[in-house]
Chains A and B, each alone.
Chain A
């Protein structure tokens, strides 16, 4: 697990930048994407012919972009942080 996923250790301050801004970006795009999708399909009540295709594609695109950025950001980590709890570099301290 986690062997093939790339992980890059960055300075702590940069790690904060990555977390804060990628999360912010993901929230805004995913919520915005759903709003767009809702508008395109009149809250899923529109007939197939009435759906605004560009808006629907925009919505799905935004949701995907948000997810992508969020997932991509997870490869950066600060020193001492484990990607999963079975990693060697994290000792259990009985939290």
Chain B
């Protein structure tokens, strides 16, 4: 590909007549010399023209029609947060599936250097110390989970502050609330799986919070934690929720959420 030279400005004469220091005129002369040979700027200008021509083919959005782009452009990057949530969910799912090969949800006693340690705890410790790339794998899973939580929350703020939840997208907002809640349950159940001190006492708090619910507290604690005190039943339930129930439910709900965005189109700012 070659392009005609559009730049017929006489830089040399311009540099001479302008009152420049020796360094400045040398600097400019060198750059003009390079420009004559490498012509990067010409090609960049070509790309620029191409960009604007393609843009002119697009239908005008509401934002452009009413000339809101100049006030609104800085929101646009935040429209990627929903996809960012999806992406971190996929990363967590893949790394989690791989962790599943090495973890077992057992509160039975085991020895791996710490008093009172369990099979579950030792499995996680083994992943970190014995398994090739195990430390990396577990870190990836934890980071993906935390990034997802943050991204989902920020995505919700984006939807709120751009008014995208308004008619006709109320249902997707409600589905979003379900997704935010399920994301947090995902995080909580996963947090308990290493069955270390943090996990154990977080579980204790969970049982007590359940018990504090009026009327149905006992029942909720039984259902979610398998009893009023922590043990094998608790760990097993958390494991099933985390690796069986939630993956199916959350994947389905995300699919519906995205399907609705696809059908309704992205909202113009309100």
B residues within 8 A CB of A21? 31, 34-35, 38, 40
A13 pairs with B71, CB closer than 8 A: no
Q: Is A14 an interface residue (CB 8 A)?
A: yes
Q: CB-CB contacts of A9-24 with B at 8 A, as 1s and 0s?
A: 0110110111011101
Q: Is A94 an interface residue (CB 8 A)?
A: yes
A residues within 8 A CB of B9? 11, 13-14
Q: How large is the interface on B (under 10, 10 to 19, 20 to 34, 35 or more residues)?
A: 20 to 34
Q: CB-CB contacts of B1-40 with A at 8 A, as 1s and 0s?
A: 0000001010100100010100110011001101100101
Bound together, the chains give a CA A18 to CA B30 distance in angstroms of 10
Determine which residue in A11, A16, A72, A95 has the highest number of CB atoms from chain B within 10 A of its CB, and name it: A16
B35 pairs with A17, CB closer than 8 A: yes
Q: Is B215 an interface residue (CB 8 A)?
A: no
Q: CB-CB contacts of A57-90 with B at 8 A, as 1s and 0s?
A: 0000000000000001101100000000000000
CB-contacts of B22-67 with A (<8 A): 23-24, 27-28, 31-32, 34-35, 38, 40-41, 44-45
Q: How large is the interface on A (under 10, 10 to 19, 20 to 34, 35 or more residues)?
A: 10 to 19
B24 pairs with A8, CB closer than 8 A: yes
Bound together, the chains give a CA A14 to CA B71 distance in angstroms of 31
Secondary structure type dominating chain B contacts: helix
B residues within 8 A CB of A76? 28
A residues within 8 A CB of B7? 13
CB-contacts of A18-34 with B (<8 A): 18, 20-22, 24
A72 pairs with B14, CB closer than 8 A: no
CB distance from B153 to the nearest CB of A (A): 29
CB distance from B16 to the nearest CB of A (A): 13
Bound together, the chains give a CA A94 to CA B9 distance in angstroms of 34
B41 pairs with A16, CB closer than 8 A: yes
CB distance from A81 to the nearest CB of B (A): 17
Q: Is B197 an interface residue (CB 8 A)?
A: no
Bound together, the chains give a CA A8 to CA B9 distance in angstroms of 18
Q: Is B70 an interface residue (CB 8 A)?
A: yes
Q: Which residues of B contact A (CB under 8 A)?
A: 7, 9, 11, 14, 18, 20, 23-24, 27-28, 31-32, 34-35, 38, 40-41, 44-45, 70-71
Q: Which residues of A contact B (CB under 8 A)?
A: 8, 10-11, 13-14, 16-18, 20-22, 24, 72-73, 75-76, 93-95
Given contacts A20-B44, A21-B34, 18 further A-B contacts (CB under 8 A): A8-B18, A13-B7, A13-B41, A14-B9, A14-B11, A14-B14, A14-B28, A16-B44, A16-B45, A17-B34, A18-B31, A20-B40, A21-B38, A72-B23, A75-B24, A76-B28, A93-B70, A94-B71
